[in-house]
Structure 1
Amino acid sequence: MIGARFPTVLALLLLCGGLPGHGLAGELRGKVVFVGVAPAPAKVPVTIDQYLCGHEKPADDLQVSANKEIRNAVVWIETPPPGAPLPPRTEKVELDQKGCAFVPRVVVVPAGGTVDFLNSDRLLHNIHATPQRNVSFNRTQPMGRTIPVTFAEPEIVRINCDLHAWMTAWVVVAAHSFYAVTGADGRFAFDKLPPGQYKLQIWHERLGTVSASATVSDQQVAQVTVEMKGR
């Protein structure tokens, strides 16, 4: 679906005591962690607008905590429950350009939904994307102007600022409601899942895509730990 390469991965599935009497809705809790020695945080040089952007910026393409938890991994259920709804398209999704970086770096929007691109910096940015399934765009953006972009088809879209080459963000266009982005603790969660076997896809911009599986019941909380390796 995404076209990323698949590194070697070990997905460990554990089951822990859960929530008896939780009806027919199960829960899945998980964490994405880095295997091996995590690389030191990288810096990228700033070559333009240094008066505002500084002289270097964190690369942020791989953020790993002291406990090896991976931030900004995207997790979705490849085999969602039949009739799984899309998240509401009315929910506002914003992607700002602040401090010469996209904030947040990864956002999720439902297919057919809109991302509002913002510019909070006192300089000119631009937003440039050449997706495979959605409409390409390349728009200059002065401070204070909001540019709405609608994404019709599910895929992961890279966003760049051509004026500031280190700036990258990702728009994940979701096919259904069971998508999540890991936080600094590497965790994700899905609720209201009918009991059954589920296949997960986990994508990271630098580490590629891996798979995992989980068995969800209405008697226990399913727990999955996914390990990703450097490339």
Structure 2
Amino acid sequence: MKNRPPSLLLLVWLLVLCACEEGSHPAAPVPPKAPSEVSFLTVELAELTEARAFDSDLLGAVHGVIRVTGDVPARFPLGARKMSECCQFDDVEHLSDIVVAADGKLKNAFVSVISGFQKADIPTPSALPVVVDQRGCIYSPHVTGLQVGQKLRIATSDPTAHNVNMSAPGNRLSPNIAMVAGQDPVEFVFRRPDLIKLRCDLHPWMTAQVHVCKHPWFAVSDAAGAFRIPNLPPGNYVIEVQHEEFGVLRGGVAVEARRSAGVAFEFVAD
């Protein structure tokens, strides 16, 4: 029998070796797709709930509820309770505000459309600013959103000093501004989508998140876990839900004119 060429034997040996290596190690996890790579065809449909009428012949809406199950952490008292200058407002609870849930309904989840819209359909930003107030040594609201080009106004109602330490990586901004009692608000305008984080170094429990979106189709879930995104052109969309403790959920939903599509999303707390 003729000898096989050495090059052929080497090729066979390499193929066997690669097969053994491949079988002995689990496949690497695939990283989650960025919002720009997500489409209605690449995500599962969102859980549907009862649709409602929407008062427009041309546009539709999405409404729904954000739920959470599992071992949901309880709210705990904040250090502000021990500081008289932080206790000027009777309606401020001074409880932790990262996870706020009751009867399985989750507050402060940010809900937005991330795919399916057309650039030509995006309206101009509202001339009204989005206001975050420092009140009772708490940022209020804890989570909010605005459109690129819309003003963010940070105010203080407190009789004490704060500093606004801002991280806005998408806009390459990281100001740290001292604010004293009675000071006029400060304003910012952001030119790119971003997740802006605010904190006060003088009162370390004070944090907030401001989502900057290309468009106005977003909402924040309320104390009942409910949200509503109005005035969407008919089409197929991907809805994303972000929560700073529980992560991200996505689902597809079809929107029709004169109808508000009902959806539900559920986080599971470990």
| Bucket of the pairwise TM-score, normalised by the shorter protein | 0.7 to 0.9
Aligned partner of 1:201: which letter? E
Whether the 8 Å CA contact 1:33–1:228 is kept in 2: the answer is yes
Deviation of 1:81 after TM superposition, in Å, equals 2.4
The residue number in structure 2 matching 1:7 is none
Can you list the C-alpha shifts for 1:127-160, whole angstroms capped at 9, x where unaligned? 0012211221100000121111222211111100
Deviation at 1:12, TM superposition (A): 4.8
Alignment of 1:176 with 2:215, yes or no, is: yes
Kindly indicate whether structure 1 or structure 2 has the higher relative contact order, using CA contacts under 8 Å at least 6 residues apart: 1
Q: 2:73 aligns with which of 24, 27, 39?
A: 39
Offset of residue 220 of structure 1: 4.8
Tell whether the 8 Å contact from 1:157 to 1:171 is kept in structure 2 after alignment. Answer: yes
Question: Which residue of structure 1 lines up, in the alignment, with residue 40 of structure 2?
Answer: none
TM-score (norm 1): 0.84
Partner in structure 1 of residue 146 of structure 2 = 109
Larger deviation, residues 70-79 vs 32-41: 32-41
Offset of 1:221 from its aligned partner? 3.5
Alpha-carbon deviation of 1:17?
A: 5.3
Structure 2 gaps of 5+ residues are 1-33, 36-43, 88-92
For 2:56 and 2:139, locate their aligned partners in 1 and report how far apart those are by CA, in whole Å. 40
Q: Is contact 1:80-1:178 (8 Å) kept? A: no
For the residues of structure 1 that align with 2:56 and 2:141, how far apart are their CA atoms?
34
Q: CA deviation at 1:225?
A: 0.3
Partner of 1:188: 227
In structure 2, the residue matched to 1:159 is 198
Work out the CA distance in 2 between the residues paired with 1:176 and 1:129: 22
Determine the structure 1 residue equivalent to 2:178.
140
Shift of 1:187: 1.3
SS of equivalent to 1:165:
coil
Q: Give yes or no for the alignment of 1:126 onto 2:159.
A: no
- Which amino acid is the alignment partner of residue 27 of structure 1? A
Between the aligned partners of 2:97 and 2:45, the Cα distance in structure 1 is 24
2:62 counterpart of 1:25? no
User: Offset of 1:64 from its aligned partner?
Assistant: 0.5
1:25-46 Cα offsets, whole Å, 9 max, x none, are 2232111111224322123335
User: Is the contact made by 2:238 and 2:251 (CA closer than 8 Å) also made in structure 1?
Assistant: yes
Select the structure that is richer in strand.
1
Instruction: Call closer, same or farther: CA 1:124–1:88 in 2, change over 3 Å.
Output: same
Contact in 1 for aligned 2:135/2:158 (Cα 8 Å): yes
SS of the residue aligned with 1:133?
A: helix
- Structure (1/2) with the larger helix percentage: 2
Matched, 1:62 2:99: yes
Distance in 2 (CA, whole Å) between partners of 1:20 and 1:229 is: 31
Q: Give SS of 2:85's match.
A: helix
**Letter paired with 1:92:** P
CA deviations 1:191-216 (Å, max 9, x no partner) are 33333321111111111111111122
Percent sequence identity is 27
Unmatched 5+ stretches in structure 1: 3-9
Structure 1 CA distance for aligned equivalents of residues 68 and 265 of structure 2: 9
CA displacement, residues 2-28 of structure 1 (integer Å, 9 cap, x when unaligned) = 9xxxxxxx9752253544996342232
The CA distance in 2 between the partners of 1:20 and 1:124, in whole Å, is 45
TM-score by length of structure 2 reads 0.73
